[in-house]
A and B are shown apart, each in its own frame.
Chain A
Amino acid sequence: MSSEHNSSFSTDEKPVGVIGAGSFGTVIANMIAQNRNVLLYARNADVVKHINEKKENRGYAIHPNVQALNDLATLADKCDVIFPIVPSSHFRAMMQQLAPYLHPYHMLIHGTKGFDITLPAGETVESVEKLDRSRVKTMSEVIQEESVAVRIGCLAGPNLSKELAMRQPAATVVASHFQEVIQTGKKLLKSDRFQVYENNDIVGVEIAGVLKNIIAIASGALSGLGFGDNAKGLLISRGAVEMVYLGRALGGDLKAFLGVAGIGDLVTTCNSPKSRNFTVGYRLAKGEKLNDIIADMKEVAEGINTVRIAKKCADTYKVRALITDRLYRVLFEGLNIEEALEFLMRFPLNMDIDFI
């Protein structure tokens, strides 16, 4: 059970698993490594070799307590606690591979901010007639559908990988129906620079974390157009209202949207050039084409797909989501950003807050 890198605190405890060696996965692995030995799974054998030999990944130094591997069976066998951190589009496939090795004692805390969608054969998000909650799932729901694991949690909140890696002050939310999961997450992640909050509305927290990426893209676009803080303040507050409406339609609770995982994360991503989603909006506004931007990003900007899904859900549930709708047209229908903005500024709205 002990690993090569024994240190005083972790010899007698099982290592913790992290699935996905993207930047967030790598940073989380490093953070946990301060408290425990970590097994980090990467799909690609070359990446595993690189991490173990060079002690480096995606520009981050790897903590000596982290060991990379390429084998889910071993990971599930050695670890009781696993953090799956892979893009939402691969999440279900990953769970299907992992499921045969999971047991009800496993604890899974994921860190993926995206939706999973299941469509009838031959349909796309655009062509399908309705996109309701039976087809749109959060990652915790995917885990539950695909495996016997029930002790499930999620990480959400303003967690920009680069800042976390520099050990700047930050906080996260661990959400779960199970106190046991929350406490384990806290114990593993907490450090003097990292605060961990608790929430038991896991689905609400997941939805808030996913939807905020839409507003982040819009915010990047505003910055790219050269607008200042008034505009951004307006976007963030109206964006928050839109998140609440959409979130409620999808089964989230208002409270989750007001917390660290909602407003906290929203403000962070909307102000940060370090955010992938923000960057997408920024470059769009500078006149680049979406395909070019995607082609040259190293990692997935979840927000792009989320806009497609959220737009369809808003239509299905008849929720007014103006920002999402305009953004969709900009991204996929070639609408000019200036025009979209003009539309939003002219739209006759007067009630500020009407959901509390």
Chain B
Amino acid sequence: MEILEEKKNKNKKYKPILEGIPNWPVYQLSKNRKEFIDEVTRQSIERIRELRPSNKQLLDDLQATAYREQNRIKRNRWRVDPKDDSAFWSKIKNELVELSTRNPDELTEAVNQLLEKIVYRYASEIAGNFKPSSYRFAREAVKFWFARLLNGARVKKFGAFFRNRYTLRDKIHIVGKVKLLRKLARKGTVVMVPTHFSNLDSILVGWIIHEMGLPAFIYGAGLNLFNIKIMAYFMNSLGAYKVDRRKKNLPYLETLKMYSNLAIQKGAHSLFFPGGTRSRSGMIEKQLKLGLLSTAVEAQRTCYNSEGEQRKIFVVPVTLNYHFVLEAPELIEDYLSTKGQDRYFPENDKYGSFQLIRFMIKFFGNRSNISVSIGPALDVLGNYVDEEGNSLDAHNRIINTKDYFISSGELTIDRQREDEYTRMLSQRIVAEYHKINRVFASHLVSFIAFEMWQKKYHQLDLFNLLRLPEEELEIDYQEFRATFKRVRKQIYLLKEQGKINFASHVKGKVDLVINSGIDNVGVFHLNRPLLKNKKGNIVTKDLSLLYYYHNRLAGYGLEQFI
């Protein structure tokens, strides 16, 4: 097995690029939390009034908001929701009714006051609460306990628990453009946009940001994560702000966007998951949510418009690569039951603090590794950026990013144009995800096994295929092996063309790589997606799960080599 070990991680420990927490933009934000919330409130109101200039339109929206909020409280209540939620919204509703009796000259004033109440509440709810003391504590706690778990589980000797032979860096590999990212984080504001597969992503990403020596980022985390107490603690101390996906009303969305927008403008490095929610299918995101992404474009334009220093914004795509996704069975079930319908996914997290810790122990005891690929930095239009922070075109000529916002010689505000830029940026990010995606042996064996079954039963559609009894499915090992070699060769070719990346363990001897893939894929699930039977042939215990892990390699056109 030793050949299959990941190459020794070259990553030395990176020195922090900013000494001392007080210099961090995220700390500055939380120190002036109150002022910041006030500013977010003020500017959000301005924006909402711009979008809904007449009182009539705005009132319609506020009524819809109040109605939906009350509905949410009735139907879908979470532990993190404030106690006075219900009282607050019935009061708002009463005030809305009362408004209809006001005479027209007072109306605008009254509507604005009401709007302010709502927006202020949202802004306070969204705002993060970064505390240096608990940041330090959480950071050290994570490092200490992870190291204990790792050493205790791996080195099976008495006392190993207190050794430091293995560190997290052996377990989690950071590859890609780390140096570039560190340089640019000093020159401008970084907006990191990772793929999203698991609830653990948020914590993982918090750790790698620290590990790369970067100051804490502010980041958007789903409010559902705050239901889990231990997560909530870490998220808060890592500087997270809360994104509540149940709230789809105009005042909330505008407030959320303004929060991100202003934080980026103030130079706080930011992170959010542009897919919006965890990938249900296991595929790399193809369609991104444009809301938060648009704040990067808007913040860049505002920076160029400002008198002072014109900070540049760098968008950095990141992919998180796992052998195993804790929630995979639920995710794929969601996906299959709603395929073809674009409906809201209920966030029912079955994992409490206990399950999470148990998973950690298993994870660290296993050889299962995680790798994080840091992509090349892009400007807000998706152009590559060099070490000096210059945007480059396809022929390496320098582009002045400000020119994208210039019309007839002047910087102009054109929201439709910026929506289009956001769409272009999102396509560039998706393309980069596919390029920096790091193939593991487990992804490859899943992909091949599933595709071979699909080919064998080509007359069945996906749902009928998934309904086949697992006992009937068996692939002859030699046949599997031959296909594996063929597809792996194709992956090498794709890598040469810069279209994909793979972990070094994929390059080992065929049988060893296949074995390690099968051993690792979805290793902690009750039903293993892939196994070898006594004859040495390939079988599955859960085809839907296999489909989930297979999807990681969808979209590269590899099907034709099966």
Residues of A that sit less than 8 Å from B by CB: 13-14, 80, 99-100, 103-105, 145, 147-148, 150-151, 177-180
**Assuming A105-B406, A150-B404, A150-B424, is B416 touching A178 (CB within 8 A)?**
yes
Residues of B within 8 A of A178 (CB): 416-417, 420
Shortest CB distance B410–A (Å): 10
Given A104-B403, A105-B403, A150-B404: A179 touches B416 (CB 8 Å cut-off): yes
B100 at the A interface (CB under 8 A): no
Q: Confirm or deny: B3 has a beta carbon within 8 angstroms of a beta carbon on chain A.
A: no
Partner of A148, one of B399, B407, B416, B424: B399
Is A148 touching B393 in the complex (CB atoms < 8 A)? yes
Q: How far is the CA of A13 from the CA of B410 in the complex (A)?
A: 13
Interchain CB contact under 8 A, B407 and A105: yes
CB neighbors of A among B383-408 (8 A):
383, 393-395, 397, 399-401, 403-404, 406-408
- Do B417 and A104 have beta carbons less than 8 Å apart? no
B479 interface residue (CB < 8 Å to A):
no
A104 with B420: in contact, given A14-B408, A180-B407 (CB under 8 Å)?
Answer: no
Flag B350-365 by CB within 8 Å of A: 1 or 0 each: 0000000000000000
Q: How far is the CA of A147 from the CA of B383 in the complex (A)?
A: 12
Listed by A's residue number, 25 A-B pairs whose Cβ atoms lie within 8 Å are A14-B408, A14-B409, A80-B407, A80-B408, A99-B395, A103-B399, A103-B403, A104-B399, A104-B400, A104-B403, A104-B404, A105-B406, A105-B407, A105-B409, A147-B393, A148-B383, A148-B393, A148-B399, A150-B424, A177-B420, A178-B416, A178-B420, A180-B407, A180-B414, A180-B417
Nearest-CB residue, chain B, relative to A81: B408
B424 proximity list for chain A (CB < 8 A): 150
**Complex Cα gap A147–B397 (Å):** 10
Q: For the A-B complex with A148-B399, A177-B423 known, give 9 more contacts whose Cβ atoms are closer than 8 Å.
A: A13-B408, A14-B408, A80-B408, A99-B395, A103-B400, A104-B381, A104-B401, A105-B406, A179-B417
- Alpha-carbon distance A280/B408, docked complex (angstroms): 43
**Shortest beta-carbon distance from A198 to chain B in Å:** 12
A150 to B379, CA, bound (A): 14
In angstroms, Cα B404 to Cα A151, docked, is 9
Which A residues are in CB contact (< 8 Å) with B409? 14, 80, 105
- Name the residue on A nearest B420 (C-beta): A177
B7 to chain A, nearest CB (A): 34
Chain A residues closer than 8 Å to B401, beta-carbon distance: 104
The 6 A-B pairs with the shortest beta carbon distances in the complex, nearest first, are A104-B403, A105-B406, A104-B404, A105-B403, A179-B416, A103-B403
Q: Which residues of A contact B407 (CB under 8 A)?
A: 80, 105, 180
- Within the complex, what minimum Cβ distance (angstroms) separates B431 from chain A? 14
Q: How far is the CA of A99 from the CA of B414 in the complex (A)?
A: 25
Which residues of A lie under 8 Å from residue B395 when comparing CB positions?
A: 99
Minimal Cβ-Cβ distance residue in B for A147: B393
Indicate the member of A13, A80, A104, A147 with the most B CB atoms within 10 Å.
Answer: A104
B residues in contact with A147, CB < 8 Å:
393
Q: Interface readout for B129-145 with A: 1 if CB under 8 Å, 0 if not?
A: 00000000000000000
B420 cross-chain contacts in A, Cβ below 8 A: 177-178
> Which chain A positions have C-beta within 8 A of B421?
150
Q: Is the CB of B404 within 8 A of A105?
A: yes
B78 nearest CB across to chain A (Å): 39
Query: Across the interface, which residues of A come within 8 angstroms of B403, CB to CB?
Result: 103-105
- Please tell me if the beta carbons of B397 and A100 are within 8 angstroms of each other in the complex: yes
Question: For A177, what are the chain B residues with a Cβ–Cβ distance below 8 Å?
Answer: 420, 423
Query: In the complex the two chains form, what is the Cα distance from A148 to B381 in whole Å?
Result: 10
CB neighbours of A104 from chain B (8 A): 381, 399-401, 403-404, 406
Contacting residues, chain B, for A14 (C-beta < 8 A): 408-409
A146 to B420, CA, bound (A): 19
Rounded to whole angstroms, the CA-CA distance of A180 and B412 in the bound complex is: 11
With contacts A178-B417, A179-B417 taken as known, whether A150 is within 8 angstroms of B406 at the C-beta atoms is no
Contacts of B404 in A (CB 8 A): 104-105, 150
Report the minimum CB–CB distance from A13 to chain B (whole Å).
Answer: 8
Docked pose: A41 CA to B417 CA in angstroms:
29
Kindly list chain A residues whose C-beta atoms are within 8 Å of the C-beta of B414.
Answer: 179-180
B residues in contact with A145, CB < 8 Å:
394
List residues of chain A with CB within 8 A of the CB of B417. Answer: 151, 178-180
- CB contact list, B409-453 vs A, under 8 A: 409, 414, 416-417, 420-421, 423-424
Query: How many angstroms between the C-alpha atoms of A151 and B406 in the bound complex?
Result: 11
Q: Which residues of B have CB within 8 Å of A13?
A: 408
A93 to B258, CA, bound (A): 44
CB of B212, distance to nearest CB on chain A (Å): 31
- Inter-chain CA distance A179–B414, complex, in Å, is 9
Q: How far is the CA of A104 from the CA of B383 in the complex (A)?
A: 12
Q: Give the CA-CA distance A147 to B395 in the complex, in Å.
A: 9
A145 to B394 Cα, complex, angstroms: 8
Query: In the complex, A238 Cα to B409 Cα: how many Å?
Result: 48
User: How far apart sit A32 and B399, CA to CA, in the bound complex (Å)?
Assistant: 30
Is the pair B400, A180 in contact by a Cβ cutoff of 8 Å? Answer: no
| Interchain CA distance A13-B408 in the complex, whole Å | 9
Tell me how far the C-beta of B258 lies from the nearest C-beta in chain A, rounded to whole angstroms: 23
Contact of A150 among B381, B394, B397, B408 (CB under 8 A): B381
Using Cβ atoms and an 8 Å threshold, which residues of chain A touch B381? 104, 150
Q: Which residues of B contact A100 (CB under 8 A)?
A: 397
CA distance A237 to B50 in the complex (A): 47
Which residue of chain A has its CB nearest to the CB of B404?
A104
How far in angstroms is the closest Cβ of chain A from B168?
42
Chain B residue at smallest Cβ distance from A181: B417
Q: Give the distance to chain A from B397, nearest Cβ to Cβ, in Å.
A: 7
Contacts of A150 in B (CB 8 A): 381, 404, 421, 424
User: What is the distance, in angstroms, from B207's C-beta to the closest C-beta of chain A?
Assistant: 37
Report how far A100 CA is from B393 CA in the complex, Å: 10
How far, in whole Å, are A178 and B401 apart by their CA atoms in the complex? 18
- Taken together as a complex, chains A and B put the C-alpha atoms of A14 and B406 apart, in Å, by 14
How distant is the Cα of A147 from the Cα of B394 in the complex, in angstroms? 8
Bound CA–CA A177/B420 (angstroms): 7
* Nearest-Cβ distance from residue A173 to partner chain B, whole angstroms: 18
Question: Which residue on chain A has the smallest CB distance to residue B411?
Answer: A105
Alpha-carbon distance A77/B424, docked complex (angstroms): 26
Question: Closest Cβ of chain B: how far from A202's Cβ, in Å?
Answer: 11
- Alpha-carbon distance A14/B409, docked complex (angstroms): 10
Roughly how many angstroms separate A177 CA and B422 CA in the complex, as a whole number? Answer: 12
User: With a CB–CB cut-off of 8 A, which chain A residues contact B416?
Assistant: 178-180
Kindly provide the distance from the CB of A330 to the nearest chain B CB, expressed in whole angstroms: 35
